[in-house]
Amino acid sequence: MAAIIGLVLVGLVAVLFLAIGLLDATRGTPITHVSARGVDRGWAPTFDDPQFRRSVEVLVGSPLEHCHRIELLCNGETYDRLWADLRAARRSITMQMYYCNPGKVADTLRDVLVERARAGVTVLFLYDAFGSSLKKEYFKELKRAGVEVQAFRPLRPRKLREVMHRSHARVVVVDGQVGYTGGFGIDDKWLGDGRHKDQWRDSSVRFAGPAVLQLQAAFGACWAEATGELIAGDLLYPPTAPDDGTSSGGGGENSAAASGATVALLHAVPSVGSTRAERFFVLSIAGARRRLYIANAYFVPDDDFRRLLKAAAGRGVDVRILTAGAATDVKSVRYAARSVYTELLKAGVRVFEYRPSMMHAKTLVVDGIWSSVGTLNADNRSMAFNDESNALIVDKSFASQMEEVFRADLEHSDEIELATFRRRPLWQRVAEHGAHLLQRLL
C-alpha cells in the first residue's frame, strides 16, 4: 500500500512539473492599455515630446542619445557596407548572429574574420546554437586563426529550460564605433533586391554614435552568459564619436542616412510578466496619432496587441500592416496571422501581404518621426521568449525614408480586402483556426 501511495505521489509531482513547464512554455505578456496618471490630457504626447522620450527611457530601458549618423540598408546592400567595415577594423570585431547557413555570405564572412584575426584584431563571434547550421569545420577554421567562437544556449539536457529562449538578436560592432542590427543573417537568401523569388526582403541599420555602446553591451551580456566572461575596458567600450561616413564609402542606392539623429538600442530579453519588447510596442502604438506603418515578418498579435491596433485605427490613425504572403518560410505563422485579419479589417486596420518573396523585415515608423529597425517580431516568441535587438530612432529625415521604403513595398504587395477575404476556402479557415490555437508557441 505504501508503495502505491508513493507511486501516486511521484505521479502527481510529475504532473505538477509538467503543468508548470507547459504554462511557462506558453506564457504571454500582460499589458492591456496605457494611461497617463496625473495629467488631464491622457496619453497624447508627440514623439518628439520629452514626455514620450522619458517614457521610453525609463519603461523600455533604452537611453535615447543624440548625435548619431544612421543609415537604412535594404536587402543585399547590407553586406557591401558590412564587409567594408569589417575589413577596416583595427582593434575589435564583435558579432552575434541567429541565422547562419553555408554559402557565399558565410564564406566571405569567414575569410574576412580570419584575415582580421591574423592581423591582430580581437574577433569575438557568438552564434545561436539553434539558428546556425554551419559545420564544425567552419568554426574550427575561425578558431585556428584566432577568432573566439562560442555557441549561445546550446541544446543540452541540463539546459532544457533554455530551449524556448533563443538569441534572435543581430549584433555587429566594429572597433566600438560602428554598429549594425536588423533582420539580416548569414545566408545567401539575403543577397539580391528582395523583389525576386528566394531573395528575402529585409531592412537593417548601420549607425555610429553613443548607442553603439548600448549595442555592444547587449553583446557583452550574452557573451557573459555563454562564456562566463564579462568583458569591460576600452577595447570594446571606447569613447565614441559620430561617424563621418568615410570609413567604408557611401551607402547603397536604397540606403538612407541621417546625421544628428537621436538613437537608442533596445535589447529585449526573456522575462516573466511584462517585457521590454512588449512595452516598446505598446508605447509606440498608443502614441500614434496620424500614421502607424508596421512591416513584420511573423505577425501574430495577441488579444491585447490587436486591441491597441484597433484603438489606434478608431482614433483616426492610418494603420497599415505589411507582412509575409504566400512566399513565407513558415506557413503555420501565416495561417495564425490570417486568423485575425477579419477582426483587424473590420476595425479599419489595413493589411498587406508581400508578393515577390519572403518579407522578413521588422520595422515600424510612426507619425513621420519615430522609427524602429531590428529583429523584433510581432509575435509571442519575440515578446516573451527571445533575446532581440532593435534600433529606436527619433529623426524626421530617417522616418521619411522609412515611409518611402514602406510605400514602395506596398506596390509589390496584395491588400487584403474584407469582402474577398471572407470568401476564402473552408480548409483555409480550418488551418487558420488550428494555427491560432498554437499562436503562443509560434
Q: Which residue shows C-alpha cell 575569410? A: 111
As a whole number of angstroms, the longest Cα–Cα distance in the chain is 81
3 exposed, middle or buried (CB, 10 Å; 0-12, 13-18, 19+)?
A: exposed
Rounded to whole angstroms, how far apart are CA atoms 153 and 353? 34
- Helix (H/G/I), strand (E/B), else coil: 435: helix
Q: In terms of DSSP bridges, do strands 178-182 and 203-208 run parallel, antiparallel, or are they unpaired?
A: antiparallel
C-alpha–C-alpha distance, residues 168 and 180, integer Å: 14
Q: pLDDT tens digits for 344-396?
A: 999 999 999 999 999 999 999 999 999 999 999 999 888 988 899 999 999 99
Percent of the chain with pLDDT over 70: 89
Bigger pLDDT: 403 vs 440: 403
Give pLDDT tens digits for 118-177: 999 999 999 998 889 999 999 999 999 999 999 998 877 666 666 677 889 999 999 999
Is it the case that residue 247 has pLDDT exceeding 90? Answer: no
CATH of 45-441, one of 3.30.870.10, 3.40.50.300, 3.40.50.10860, 3.40.50.1000: 3.30.870.10
Mean pLDDT of the chain: 90
pLDDT of residue 61: 92
Q: Which has more pLDDT, 341 or 157? A: 341
pLDDT tens-digit readout, 251-280: 444 455 667 899 999 999 888 889 999 999
* pLDDT for position 45: 77
pLDDT in tens, 62-100: 999 999 999 999 999 999 999 999 999 999 999 999 999
Nearest residue to 121 via CA among 146, 96, 98, 144: 146
Phi and psi of 241, rounded to 5°? Answer: -145, 150
| Strand ranges in 325-399 using DSSP code E only, listed in sequence order | 350-354, 362-366, 370-374, 388-394
Q: What are the residues whose beta carbons fall under 8 Å from the beta carbon of 261, sequence distance 6 or more?
A: 68, 69, 70, 207, 209, 393, 394, 395, 397, 398
